[in-house]
Chains A and B, each alone.
Chain A
Amino acid sequence: MDFPISGTHINPLLLIGAGLVIGVLGGFFGVGGSFLAGPALFAFGVPMNFVVGTDLAHIVGKSMVAARRHSLMGNIDYKLGLIMVAGTIPGVEAGAQGIQFLKRHSDVDRPVALVFIVVLIGISAFVAWEGIRTIRLSKRERLAKSNTVGSSSRGKRDVSALAGVAKQLHRFKLAPMISFPRSGIKEVSLWTILCVAFIGGVCSGFLGGGAGYIRMPAMVYLLGVPTHLAVGTDLFEVIISGGYGTFTHALKGNVDILIALVMHTGAAVGARLGASLTQYFHGPRIRLAFVPLPLAGAALIIYTLATGRHLG
């Protein structure tokens, strides 16, 4: 099938298949899947500026549906989401301007692909490190509990090796200070939130997708937002910031909406399957299963860069 906007020829079944796989993984791990969608589009021969804009458009559709589900479950902190939008949108625009700069002055594919590879390998390394540390920490806590006679149960809570980082950031008192009772945050500087959101926005505008791989861990580990609220709030935020990103990239000629629509047909059913699959798997080690996925994305980009061959 010809996609005349980006000037590419891709088998639509490949696009649907990629969308399906990305949807299943996204639904299963609770992330958007741009760590695979972007590299897959690049491997299919889509120019990198179109990869970025098209991936943003594709993620908006997915986020709308997923955010509605999370809204019904009460998993969205709207106040936090709206404040983050104020930081994300300038970040998205900065990222989009970066793509425009590269379009005017040099080759877009190579520099964006290299940044993509570094970010993807970094994510894998971080998740692996955090996952292993958390498992060790849980084992130590269990041992300590079993050695304490008559200790009371503290109930179910998120266990993380980086739990102290958020507390340290909350000590940063630069006015105005804001509270988020819904997320259990007593007081945090507005500037901390805007900085976190801005960095996520730059990644989104420069690499495409919702950049949930950056914003989600940042919300959990840096801001101290509970995981289920971070997922829902991130999705709500991506509808607005991703919508803006799609619009600004479309104005700049970086969105092939036909590719996004075809890919989304697979992703829609994949997300539902992925969410259903979560009930058949268990165990805290599941986070480590995520580690190879960004690496697979990086491998796809390296293969395309090295060989110049396209999978589509």
Chain B
Amino acid sequence: MPQEKQKRVPDRQTIIWLLVELAVYSVFVFLYFMLALHFWGGWIKHLFDTHKTLYAIVALGLMAGQAVLLELVTSGLFRLIRGKT
């Protein structure tokens, strides 16, 4: 739970940059869907049906890989955009 802090009001510029970050992020996510998830779907379903152990390993690997990748992307975006303000 958040600690007790002095109240701050987000200024207009912060909100604008937040929206810009969201827009850039949305483009990344859209490209990710088109390039990755759409083409992997069939292969992953095939693994699920035929080889559960390999599917379990791939599932964990994909989740961990995506978590690290998205963290790098969001951190990079936040740093890049905030650095220019």
Q: Is the CB of B44 within 8 A of A258?
A: yes
Q: Is the CB of A290 within 8 A of B1?
A: yes
The listed residue (B25, B53, B67) touching A251 by CB distance below 8 A is B53
Complex Cα spacing A250 to B54, Å: 10
CB within 8 Å of A: which of B1-48?
1-2, 4-10, 18, 21-22, 25, 29, 32-33, 37, 40-41, 44-45, 48
Pick out which of these stretches binds chain B: A58-66, A177-185, A186-194, A291-299.
A58-66
Q: Can you name the residue of chain B whose Cβ is closest to the Cβ of A227?
A: B1
Complex Cα spacing A176 to B52, Å: 39
Q: Is the CB of A281 within 8 A of B7?
A: yes
The listed residue (A227, A243, A262) touching B37 by CB distance below 8 A is A262
Is chain A's interface secondary structure helix, strand, loop, or mixed overall? helix
Residues of B within 8 A of A154 (CB): none
Is chain B's interface secondary structure helix, strand, loop, or mixed overall? helix
Q: Is the CB of A250 within 8 A of B56?
A: yes
CB within 8 Å of B: which of A56-113?
57-58, 60-62, 64-65, 68
Q: How large is the interface on A (under 10, 10 to 19, 20 to 34, 35 or more residues)?
A: 35 or more
Q: Can you name the residue of chain B whose Cβ is closest to the Cβ of A60?
A: B63
Complex Cα spacing A260 to B53, Å: 18
Q: Does A283 contact B (CB under 8 A)?
A: yes
Residues of A within 8 A of B2 (CB): 28-30, 278, 281-282, 286
Q: Does A253 contact B (CB under 8 A)?
A: yes
A 1-35 binary contact with B (CB < 8 Å = 1; else 0): 01011000000100010000000000011100000
- Total cross-chain contacts (CB, 8 A): 117
Complex Cα spacing A280 to B10, Å: 7
Q: Is the CB of A251 within 8 A of B74?
A: no
Closest 9 CB pairs of A and B: A250-B56, A61-B67, A278-B2, A257-B59, A268-B70, A4-B45, A61-B63, A65-B71, A282-B5
Binding site for B on A (CB under 8 A): 2, 4-5, 12, 16, 28-30, 57-58, 60-62, 64-65, 68, 227, 243, 246-248, 250-251, 253, 255, 257-258, 260-262, 264-266, 268-269, 272-273, 278-284, 286-287, 290
A sample of 15 cross-chain residue pairs with beta-carbon separation below 8 angstroms, ordered by A number, consists of: A2-B41, A12-B33, A60-B67, A61-B63, A65-B68, A227-B1, A250-B60, A261-B66, A264-B63, A268-B74, A269-B70, A279-B5, A282-B2, A282-B7, A287-B1
Binding site for A on B (CB under 8 A): 1-2, 4-10, 18, 21-22, 25, 29, 32-33, 37, 40-41, 44-45, 48, 52-53, 55-60, 62-64, 66-68, 70-71, 74, 78
